[in-house]
Amino acid sequence: MGHGKLKKFAENETFRCLLQPDASAVLDKEAGSRELRLRDHAIKGKWGREMFGNDHPIVLELGCGKGDYTLALARRHPEINYIGVDIKGARLWKGAKEATETEMPNVAFLRTRIEFIEAFFSPGEIAEIWLTFSDPQLRGSENARLSSPLFLERYRKFLRPGGIVHLKTDSRYLYEYTRSVVAVNGLQVLASGTDIYHEGLTAVPGLETDIVFQVQTFYEQMFLEMGLPITYLAFTLDHEGPYAFPGEAFDHEKWLEAEGPRRSFSHQPTKKG
């Protein structure tokens, strides 16, 4: 491990806005069992009071990287609390450092695996979720996609009724996969678009959409400079019973072919620094 990362990890320990629990704080794995069990973290249900000191709505960005999107959202809406979640401490360092130095009271970061996310939030504690340029897991397990039925079930446990999930991605594959999941489960689509900067969005009346265009991630800016289309989908999780997988409703081969060779580039690690 390089000296730069060690320095960042040490500085991370000084940031009040960054919570870095050890995995053992939420894992409850029975001896001799391969089933992964979670136990509640102490912050669960207490983010407003203990982290932010208010009862404002809380919005999550899952897979936030360096936190640039989380920070930009927080600047636009000081009346809302934002939490960026990622597993990489060296990435979170940048966002936590900026939030600390600029004294942003409505920003926090959580270092954990998203598979553990339900251990940190109580029912109704979260108002909205942003999935920004997530790995589409083209060759990996369907369950690893952050918009899979498995993850939607996790989110439902803490997203308030009527709460919104935002998916913003350069991956047409992930966009179409998510649309299939939404359709199969009868979820309400609030907004959608397959090339938002050139064709705009179709959205329900009254939904704020300006923020979709005005807040951009590091990757998004790069893709726009390359002329690549950006997709967006917003939907609610209001649904009774277990979530169904799309199965044949999603044409895996078609959208895998449409993805093209750029996928190997688009999710490379960001530059050091």
Which residues are catalytically annotated?
A: 135
- Return d(Cα 47, Cα 52) in angstroms, integer: 7
Phi-psi map region of 86: left, alpha, beta (phi>0 left; psi -120 to 50 alpha): beta
Paired strand residues for 86: 111
Within 13 Å, how many C-alpha atoms sit on residue 150's CB side?
9
Neighbours of 83 (CB within 10 A): 25
Phi-psi region for residue 209, left (φ > 0), alpha (ψ -120 to 50) or beta?
Answer: alpha
Cα angle 61, 233, 93 (rounded to 5 degrees) comes to 20
CA distances (Å), origin 149, targets 117, 144, 163, 170? 15, 10, 16, 21
CA distance 178 to 198: 21
- Asked if 255 contacts 194 with a C-beta cutoff of 8 angstroms, the reply is no
Contact 117, 129 (CB under 8 A): no
Provide the H-helix boundaries in 33-120. Answer: 68-76, 89-101
DSSP category for residue 48: I
Distance CA 51, CA 53 (A): 6
